[in-house]
Amino acid sequence: MPDDVRKTGSVAGGPDAPDTAACVRDAVDAIIERYPDKTGRLLNVLNDVQERYRYVPEAAIERISERMGVSKGQIVGMGEFFNYLSLDPVGRCVIDVCDGTACHTQGAPRLVAEFEKALGVKAGQTTEDGLFTLRTVGCVGACGIAPVVVVEGDAYGRVRVMQVPAIVSAAEEAQAL
């Protein structure tokens, strides 16, 4: 952890990637069974799928659609709306740069450019070695400490461009443990 970068909070993490489509279907079935109450059921199921696989696989979307009677378009729409849901496989470490209004005006675009330079990928991409995914996301609910960067669920506030290499190094070290 770099001395000049303060970690300010925590969000969720999750285990490794899925195996076969059949396994995903079985896992989704088990998750759906956890939520007999229809209120908020779809979002709860998507949250649990995201937590298990770190993204919502296509096979899961298909199974949820079949089992819950919602269209794949509706599921994809929710996946696109909620920051913490991902419809694409991600690297072992996800770096989210908040680009909501407060963070944008406090320099988020410059942070994105610096992370892109440090990681050698554009926002929305994963590094070739599968280690990092860089994303821009909407407001993460911490506008008071804008601009905010969230690394694997750990939030850093009032991030300056010069701190980006230290954040990347700390994330690399954490992955090497």
Between β-strands 154-156 and 7-10, what pairing exists: parallel, antiparallel or unpaired? antiparallel
Closer to ligand FES by Cβ: residue 57 or 157: 157
Q: At closest approach, how far in Å is the CB of 107 from ligand FES?
A: 11
Q: In the range 51-90, which residues lie near ligand FES by CB under 6 A? A: none
Closer to ligand FES by Cβ: residue 94 or 142: 142
What does the block give as tokens for 16? 């490794």
Give the integer Cα–Cα distance in Å for 33 and 13. Answer: 22
Closer to ligand FES by Cβ: residue 89 or 138: 138
Q: Alpha helices, DSSP H only, in 34-136?
A: 41-53, 58-68, 72-81, 101-105, 108-119
Instruction: Rule CB under 6 A: choose which of 17, 139, 161, 166 binds ligand FES.
Output: 139
Helix (H, G, I), strand (E, B) or coil at 31: helix
Residue 32 is a binding residue for ligand FES (CB under 6 A): no
- In the DSSP assignment, the letter for residue 112 is H
Closer to ligand FES by Cβ: residue 68 or 143: 143
- Interaction site with ligand FES (CB under 6 A): 98, 100-103, 139-143, 146, 148
